[in-house]
Amino acid sequence: MCLKSLEFLPVGRGRIVGVFGRKPTAGEVFLACKEYIMRAILQRVTRASVKVDGRITGAISRGLVVLLGIRRGDGERQMEYLADKILDLRIFPDEKHSMSRSIREAGGGILLVSQFTLYGDARKGRRPSFDEAEAPELAVKVYRQFAERLSSQGVRPEEGVFGASMLLDLENDGPVTILLDSEREF
């Protein structure tokens, strides 16, 4: 499914969705659809905080730490899907210790932290490439929209500082760690 726009892509770059009913040949450049995928790692916690330059910028007690990775081209559709999924995901225990409550139902907090390294590609060499991560000046806008979406849905997140070097301190509860993306790849 095309999410953004049609682009010219060399073979092997991006996800190739269709090539006019035929298979590409080696090295061929053709018109194809590249899908855009926002990623998040959720950690259920008993407490968490984030510091920038020795100062706590955000802290929660029971709730979720959300590490958010924004890929080149991500926009409103990916942001809305992922924010709503996080708010409705049933990973908090009920009285029977069964994971059947969402963050909204459990009443916990969210600590939101930008994490461009979720798009680190370490398949080649010894240093990861971050080519798929969105440029900071564009990613910050999507990050802000994401935080606003959470707030508008009733859960105002505590936050780190976008683009800063941060120290994250958390106590993982369970442990429960969930990988999410806007296209349900994992």
Which pTM does this prediction carry?
0.81
pLDDT at position 7, please? 41
Average pLDDT, the chain: 86
pLDDT at position 182, please? 84
DSSP, res 75: -
Q: Which residues pair with 171 in a beta bridge?
A: 47
Question: Which of the residues are catalytic?
Answer: 115-117
pLDDT tens, residue by residue, 19-47:
444 555 555 554 444 456 899 999 999 99
Alpha helical stretches, state H, the chain: 76-88, 103-106, 136-152
User: Any idea what the Cα angle at residue 45 is, between residues 163 and 96, rounded to 5°?
Assistant: 150
* Domains, the chain, with CATH or none: 1-35 (no CATH), 39-181 (3.50.80.10)
Say how far apart CA 128 and CA 117 lie, in whole Å: 9
pLDDT at position 37, please? 86
Cis ω before 157 (30° cut-off from 0): no
CB-based contact 82:180 (threshold 8 Å): yes
pLDDT tens, residue by residue, 67-114:
999 999 999 999 999 999 999 999 999 999 899 999 999 999 999 999
pLDDT at position 17, please? 46
